[in-house]
Amino acid sequence: MNRAVFLDRDGTLIKDAHYLKDPEQIEIIEGVGCSLDAIKKSGFGIFMHTNQSGITRGYYGWEDVRACNHRMLQMLNLPEDFFDQVCIAPEDRFVPGGLRKPSPKFELEMISRYDLMPRRCWMVGDKWIDAETGLNAGMRAALVQTGKPLDDDLLDRAASLSVEVFTGLEQFVGHLLETIDE
C-alpha cells in the first residue's frame, strides 16, 4: 500500500448531526457504502479522522463516539476492522502538535507507519479544515458538498489551492478511479 484515502466522518460519511451521541440517530449519506468498498477494492488504504470536541466539552464520552463508529459500519454492512486506522480527535480547539484537524499529526504518522506516498493520498471532508489537513500533510485534498455548505469564498480558496470539489463521496470516488495512474 502506498496510496490511501483519509476521510472525515460527519458530513462526509454520515449526515452531520450536531454533537452526535446516539448511534440510533445516524443517517448514512447516499452512495457511501459502495464508495468505501470501491476505494478499498482499488488497493487504497482507508483511514478515518474525525474531530470530536464533544469529548473535551463533556457532551459525550469516547465510548459514545466508538459506539457511533461501530453502528455506522454495521449500517454500511462493513466489518469492524474496515478502516486501517481511525483517529478520534477529542480536543475542543486547535493545539499545535495535537490531533484536531487541521493538524496533520495523524496523517503524518500514518504516512510513516504505512509507507504512504503523500502525493498519492487524499484527504476528503466537508469543511475547509479537512482540506487544510490534507494540504498540511502534503496530500491532495477534496471537499464534498454533503455536509456544511461551501460558500463562494471557500470555493475560490479551494480553486486557488487545487482542492477539488465534488457533490459527494460517490463523485469523488469516480474521479479517484479515473485518475488512479496519474
**How is the beta sheet containing 4-7 ordered, strand by strand?**
85-89, 45-51, 4-7, 121-125, 140-144, 164-166
Residue 19, by phi and psi: left (phi above 0), alpha (psi -120 to 50) or beta? left
Q: How far is the CB of 181 from Mg ion (least distance, A)?
A: 29
Q: How far is the CB of 11 from Mg ion (least distance, A)?
A: 4
Closest CA to 3 of 63, 36, 34, 47: 47
Q: How far is the CB of 67 from Mg ion (least distance, A)?
A: 19
Cβ closest to Mg ion, residue 114 vs residue 135: 135
CB-nearest residue to Mg ion: 11
List residues near Mg ion by CB under 5 A: 8, 10-11, 126, 147
Cβ closest to Mg ion, residue 11 vs residue 54: 11
The residue behind cell 480527535 is: 89
Secondary element (H or E) of residue 113 = helix 105-113
Answer positive or negative: Cα dihedral of 122, 123, 126, 132: negative
Cβ closest to Mg ion, residue 8 vs residue 164: 8
Cβ closest to Mg ion, residue 103 vs residue 182: 103
